[in-house]
Amino acid sequence: MKQKRSKIPTRQEYVDMVKVLTERKDLDTLVTLRMGAELGMTRIEIVNARISDIDRLNKRGLWIDVAKKVRRGTRKTKKGRKKPIMVMRQREVPINTSLYQLLISYMDKEHQTYILKREKGDMTKHFTPRYINTIYERAGIPWSPHRSRHYFKDRLWDWMRVHRQPDEGLVSELMGHKKSQTQDYGSLSWDYQIEVIDKVFQ
């Protein structure tokens, strides 16, 4: 019977799993897990994350060029029907100090294009999103990659509630969600985003 992997890990369960992977020296899985749980990245974002996109716009930032397809209005077809205009969402995520140091030491800038390492095949091609599930299953991680993203969101909200600093706009920004008109008013400085991420995932 296949293990049910729909639970969101507790903080202790996550810390324990990071410790296990570190002791095993399973860096491929450790990097994959932490990118989902500490950056809030989806599977498609993780496999498409390029080495050259770290520090591309901001120090300790990871630019995500290929993320989720989102709807941006509609257009009329020749038959007069409305067809949605789909575009690839792009965003930048701040990397906490600890994960940044791990990524810098893990990446193979000479031989690899993407952060996740390929041992065989075309080094200029990324893995499929399904590969992230395979990594989790092979390592015995008892939750799904999507639940790591939920963990990221929960940790953000927990920290904000404890420090009485709720900020829905920041959560939406870091999760890559569409923001409401109120949340989208004004901009969130990079220094602020980095400061919060460092405090949440220190």
Residue 30: what pLDDT? 98
Residue 121: what pLDDT? 80
What residue spans define the domains of the chain?
11-62+95-200
| Fold of the domain built from segment(s) 11-62+95-200 | hpI Integrase; Chain A (1.10.443)
Mean pLDDT by 10 residues, the chain (202 residues): 71 98 98 98 95 96 78 76 71 96 96 92 89 97 96 96 89 78 62 96 90
Q: 């202790």: which residue's tokens?
A: 12
Nearest-angstrom CA–CA distance, 124 and 158: 39
Nearest to 45 by CA among 70, 31, 64: 64
- Per the structure block, which two tokens stand in for 55? 């520090």
pTM: 0.84
